[in-house]
């Protein structure tokens, strides 16, 4: 946490009337750091649902009054909200005798950017949720969605651990593309050859593979490679023990370069 | 508590309920003051043979007994029930549960049921939308629209 973090801590008795108090404290916190109304509304919803869970479920013994701690920390455009109790701990509840909707957690999951629930060693439940802050004018970062892959993308640490994953993924892709059994085994050989590549030829020591159907064929894009890595992989692509280049199995082999780096594109026909 | 951490301790007894008026809290100059609804208000009204339960301010587990009481009271004479959330500023899942229960009771008794929530009650509207209850209940954008929908449901 950086020095500029602004922090609010509340310690409360687990009682229903204290939920309003938590929200007002958060509203004051929002005023103090010029947080936008949308972010404040999300924080209030999360804090209320989490505290309500503690009020209703954490201390079930008759006459028992427990403690709830609420902490809000604003730092670098994110508000982290922590709600902690020392009650009976988080339990899946298949049936709710009080007729509760069990909407609380889904609601938290919907409005929070991320959240976790833990059962600390000293008992009770600890919920941590994060909300991205928009300022009072509603300006915040607009989230961007990653583009869907055409078929599938995977990345695995280069080296021996890559082999079984790549072989199986290529085999299932070939099956789905209607490849014959013989061509499928070529796919497995190709996977082996990719996995056997030199670890240092791959950028960040990761083998990335993107599989897509190109017409009736299967295009396998491997990379990104470090400069010259794709060429070195091609040169090394000898079928183990056969002395035949794997590229003979492919209908097209290209080295492509873009912003992400150098990639090897291998197209195989069924 | 880490060393050097400034600490301000506020001791609170049981909060006395002092009316249900919307209060404006002054904060330090330079910060945007926000309206504060200390306690949510529940009110029963009647219009055109429809029982209306009006919720204003913030509602949660602390006010759910009063909300349920008002909903039960509204349902007792067999009229259609309209819940007006246009001036509510906050509802939690316990209130949503009470609304769904009231709707179930109304459907079982073949009475009309509708909810009104305008765009001004933005946080409430958002919760109704993200939980899917905006379609389920159903929710109308004004009290008039909700009344008209109830009128259309009425067997003539």
Residues 6+ apart with CB under 8 A from A252: A265, A266, A267
Query: Which of A104, A132, A160 is the last residue before a domain boundary?
Result: A132
Q: What is the pLDDT of residue A108?
A: 94
Q: What is the pLDDT of residue A25?
A: 92
A168 and A207 Cβ atoms separated by less than 8 Å:
no
Q: Minimal Cα distance from A52: which residue of B? A: B61
Residues 6+ apart with CB under 8 A from A265: A219, A220, A221, A222, A252, A253, A254, A255, A256
Question: Which residues in chain A are contacts of B131 at CB distance < 8 A?
Answer: 103, 106-107, 110
Q: What is d(CA A256, CA A266) in angstroms, rounded to the nearest whole number?
A: 11
pTM to 2 decimals? 0.68
A164 and A85 belong to one structural domain: no
A162 and A264 belong to one structural domain: yes
Selected for mutation to probe chain B from A103, A105, A108 (highest B CB count within 10 Å) is A103
Q: Mean per-residue pLDDT for B74-80?
A: 89
Distance from CA of B53 to the nearest CA of A (A): 21
ipTM of this predicted structure: 0.76
Any idea which of A97-106, A107-116, B91-100 has the lowest mean pLDDT?
A97-106
Q: Considering only residues A213 and A15, tell me which one the structure prediction assigns the higher pLDDT.
A: A15
Distance from CA of A6 to the nearest CA of B (A): 11
| The pLDDT of residue A226 is above 80 | yes
Q: Mean per-residue pLDDT for A181-207?
A: 80
A47 and A82 Cβ atoms separated by less than 8 Å:
no
Distance from CA of B38 to the nearest CA of A (A): 7
> What pairing do the DSSP bridges indicate for beta strands A252-258 and A217-225?
unpaired
A54 and A98 belong to one structural domain: yes
Question: Which residues in chain A are contacts of B60 at CB distance < 8 A?
Answer: 16, 19-20, 48, 52
A180 and A224 belong to one structural domain: yes
| The pLDDT of residue A260 is above 70 | yes
A136 and A34 Cβ atoms separated by less than 8 Å:
yes
Taking the CB of residue B84, how many other CB atoms lie within 10 A of it? 24
Report if residue A85 sits inside a domain. Answer: yes
Q: With cut-offs at 50, 70 and 90, classify the pLDDT of residue A142.
A: low
Say yes or no: B12 contacts chain A, CB-CB below 8 A: yes
Q: Mind listing the domains of chain B with CATH numbers?
A: 39-153 (3.30.750.24)
Q: What is d(CA B25, CA B16) in angstroms, rounded to the nearest whole number?
A: 17
Domain ranges, residue A24 = 6-132
Report if residue A144 sits inside a domain. Answer: no
Q: With cut-offs at 50, 70 and 90, classify the pLDDT of residue A81.
A: very high
| The pLDDT of residue A8 is above 90 | yes
Q: Considering only residues A221 and B29, tell me which one the structure prediction assigns the higher pLDDT.
A: A221
Q: What is the pLDDT of residue A211?
A: 86
Chains A & B: contacts with CB separation below 8 Å: 82
Q: Mean per-residue pLDDT for B12-32?
A: 43
A223 and A261 belong to one structural domain: yes
Q: What angle do CA A99, A21, B45 make, to 5 degrees?
A: 60
Residues 6+ apart with CB under 8 A from B81: B50, B51, B52, B53, B71, B74, B75, B102, B106, B111, B112, B113, B114
Report if residue A140 sits inside a domain. Answer: no
Report if residue A1 sits inside a domain. Answer: no
Q: What is the CATH number of the domain that holds A158?
A: 3.30.565.10
- Comparing CB atoms, the residue among A41, A101, A110 nearest residue B96 is A101
Report if residue A77 sits inside a domain. Answer: yes
Report if residue A42 sits inside a domain. Answer: yes
Number of domains in chain A: 2
Q: What is the pLDDT of residue B98?
A: 94
Selected for mutation to probe chain B from A20, A44, A53 (highest B CB count within 10 Å) is A20
Of chain A, the percentage scoring pLDDT greater than 70 comes to: 88
A255 and A174 belong to one structural domain: yes
Query: How many residues does this entry show for chain B?
Result: 156
């Amino acid at each position: 946490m950086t020095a500029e973090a602004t922090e609010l801590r509340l310690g409360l008795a687990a009682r229903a009337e204290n939920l309003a108090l938590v929200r007002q404290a958060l509203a004051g916190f929002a005023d103090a750091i010029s947080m936008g109304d949308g972010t404040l509304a999300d924080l209030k919803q999360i804090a209320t649902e989490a505290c309500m869970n503690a009020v209703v479920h954490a201390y079930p013994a008759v006459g028992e009054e427990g403690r709830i701690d609420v902490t809000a920390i604003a730092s670098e455009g994110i508000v982290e909200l922590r709600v902690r109790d020392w009650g009976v701990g988080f339990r899946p509840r298949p049936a709710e005798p009080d007729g509760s909707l069990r909407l609380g957690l889904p609601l938290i999951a919907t409005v929070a950017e991320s959240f976790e629930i833990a059962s600390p060693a000293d008992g009770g439940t600890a919920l941590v949720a994060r909300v991205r802050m928009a300022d009072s004018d509603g300006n915040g970062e607009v989230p961007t969605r990653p583009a869907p892959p055409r078929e599938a993308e995977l990345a695995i640490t280069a080296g021996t651990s890559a082999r079984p994953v790549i072989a199986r993924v290529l085999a299932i892709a070939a099956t789905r593309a209607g490849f014959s059994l013989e061509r499928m085994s070529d796919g497995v050989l190709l996977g082996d050859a990719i996995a056997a590549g030199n670890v240092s030829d791959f950028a960040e020591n990761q083998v990335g593979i993107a599989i897509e159907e190109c017409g009736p064929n299967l295009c396998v894009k491997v990379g990104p490679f470090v400069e010259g890595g794709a060429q070195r992989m091609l040169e090394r692509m000898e079928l183990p023990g056969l002395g035949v280049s794997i590229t003979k199995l492919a209908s097209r082999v290209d080295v492509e370069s873009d912003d992400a780096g150098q990639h090897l594109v291998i197209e195989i026909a069924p | 508590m880490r060393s050097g951490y400034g600490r301000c301790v506020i001791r609170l007894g049981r909060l006395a309920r002092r009316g249900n008026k919307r209060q404006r809290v002054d904060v330090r100059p330079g910060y945007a003051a926000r309206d504060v609804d200390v306690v949510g208000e529940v009110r029963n009204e009647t219009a055109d043979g429809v029982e209306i339960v009006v919720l204003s301010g913030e509602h949660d587990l602390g006010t759910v007994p009063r909300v349920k009481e008002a909903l039960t009271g509204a349902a007792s004479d067999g009229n259609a029930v309209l819940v007006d959330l246009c001036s509510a500023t906050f509802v939690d899942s316990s209130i949503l549960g009470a609304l769904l229960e009231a709707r179930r009771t109304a459907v079982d008794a073949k009475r009309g049921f509708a909810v009104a929530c305008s765009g001004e009650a933005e946080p409430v509207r958002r919760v109704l939308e993200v939980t899917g209850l905006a379609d389920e209940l159903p929710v109308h954008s004004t009290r008039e629209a909700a009344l008209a929908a109830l009128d259309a449901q009425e067997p003539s």
